[in-house]
Each structure stands twice: as C-alpha cells, then as structure tokens.
Structure 1
Amino acid sequence: MINGGHVILYSRDAEADRAFFRDVLGYPHVDAGGGWLIFKTPPGELAVHPADGPPAHEFYLMCDDLAETMAELSERGVEFSEPPSDRGWGLLTSIELPGGGRLGLYEPRHPVAHSLPDGR
C-alpha cells in the first residue's frame, strides 16, 4: 500500500536550495541521476485546512525549541524572513531559501501526530 510521501519544492535556483538542504541542514539524500538530489526528511504530518480561495499546499519544518533551532541555524548562515510569532497553536518563523523561497519553521504547541504508531 502507500509507504511514504514525496514533497516537491519549486525553486528559482534549485541547485542552491539542494545545496542548502544537503550542506546546511545536513539531510541525507540520494542522487536520482545528474545531481538531482532527493532528501530524506524528518517524520511528517499531514493537515487539511479549509480554503476560501483556490486550493494550495504548504510545507513546514517542525522543531522542539524554536529559539534554540534558530540560534543553531543562524550559526550556519541561515536567514529568517520574520521574527518568531506566537500563533497560539505554536511559535512560527520562516527560513529564507537561497532560491528565493520561504520555508515555514515552527515549534508546535498542539498534539503532534508524527510519532503515532502506524495502523488504522
């Protein structure tokens, strides 16, 4: 049956963003050929939110301690799009990707599903 998910980030500079995930975040990866890297991501979750406009998709990284994670990433040269904000459900910021995109980073304050056992 289904054994995983595949997230795609579209980028204006895919090489720079691939280097970011490989070198800055240190994500393990495989080369699918010709330098086309596919990364192993941390455990994930899927949420479905209502939309007033056209359907859209977003990808966020999660952490246990936002301030600590931001400090560690800052030491590696990562820039943030915005200061942390408390959204009630968690503390949120955004990472500036080298290709010009943004990637959400948050410390959840809600129950998390990524550690639940498999099963139905």
Structure 2
Amino acid sequence: MNLNQITVPTTDIESSLGFYQTLGLKLIVKSAEYARFECPDGESTFSIHVVDKTPNGNGVMVYFECEDLDATVADLKQKGIRFYQEPTDQSWLWREARLYDPANNHLILYYAGKNRKNPPWRIN
C-alpha cells in the first residue's frame, strides 16, 4: 500500500490555490470546488475541496518533508508565508516549522532524515 494523496477542506478555494502554489506545489486539476496538486518531490498528490464550514479544534495536520528546512522556511517567509513556529529541533528527532493554511489546517514542514521511518525507538 502507498499513500496517494491527502485532501483538506477549504471555504475559499482561490486563497488556498495561491497559498499552496506559493508553497511550491504544482496545480494539475482545478474546478470550482476542487483542486489537486503534485508535490515537487516524490509521487504524492495533495488536494483541497470546498466545504461550507471547516472543522473546529485541531482538525487536519499535514506534514511536508523538506530536505533543507531552514532554507525553505526562509524562502517562504520572503514570499509572505507566516509561520507560528520557526524551525525547531523536536524531542522526537525531527526539525519542524509550523504554519496554518488559509482554512486553518495545520501544516508542518519538517526534516527527519533517517529518523522519519527509523527512529531509535522503532518497533521491529
């Protein structure tokens, strides 16, 4: 089994389209209520769909892996993307920066290297 795509809700497709294109995703499908993007690395896709109301509370959390996290964050900040957490080394051995998309979905840009799938506490 392989993860194909993640879809997150939005109430404003146009602002979400611009946001995700600024992040570097390539738009490949677009309608009035749905859009799908290719991720710049790998084979995964990411999509947004229009809903009447986005979920309350923590909602969706999506992780995008970046080879050079600090440079990626600096570049996105220059393009006007705001982060609520700067790149930070976490106790689970990932380096993460956190932000919200226009629909308040949580996005985490991170780098984990070998610890992504093989942390020291991995169950064999």
TM-score (norm 2): 0.64
RMSD between superposed Cα atoms in Å: 2.8
Deviation string 1:5-35 (CA, Å, 9 cap, x unpaired) is: 121112343331122112x123222234336
Match of 1:72 in 2: 75
Q: How far apart in 2 are the matches of 1:30 and 1:93?
A: 26
Q: How far apart in 1 are the matches of 2:94 and 2:2?
A: 28
Deviation string 1:25-54 (CA, Å, 9 cap, x unpaired) is: 232222343363211123278xxxxxxxxx
**SS of match in other structure, 1:9:** strand
Number of equivalenced pairs: 101
Return 5+ residue gaps in structure 1 as ranges: 46-55, 114-120
Q: How far apart in 2 are the matches of 1:68 and 1:82?
A: 15
Are residues 104 and 111 of structure 1, via their aligned partners in 2, closer, same or farther at CA, if it must alter by over 3 Å? same
Q: What is the aligned counterpart of 1:84 among 59, 84, 87?
A: 87
TM-score (norm 1): 0.66
Runs of 4+ off more than 6 Å: none
The structure with more strand, counted as a fraction of residues: 2
Contact 1:85 1:93 survives alignment (8 Å): yes
After the TM superposition, which residues 1-120 of structure 1 pair with which residues of structure 2 at under 5 Å, given as runs? 5-22=4-21, 24-34=22-32, 36-41=34-39, 42-43=41-42, 58-88=61-91, 89-111=93-115
Deviation string 1:67-95 (CA, Å, 9 cap, x unpaired) is: 11111110110100112221142111112
Identity %: 22
Match of 1:118 in 2: none
Give the CA deviation at 1:101. Answer: 2.4
Q: How far apart in 2 are the matches of 1:31 and 1:69?
A: 25
Are residues 112 and 84 of structure 1, via their aligned partners in 2, closer, same or farther at CA, if it must alter by over 3 Å? closer
Return 5+ residue gaps in structure 2 as ranges: 45-58, 118-124
Greater relative contact order (CA < 8 Å, ≥ 6 in sequence) = 1
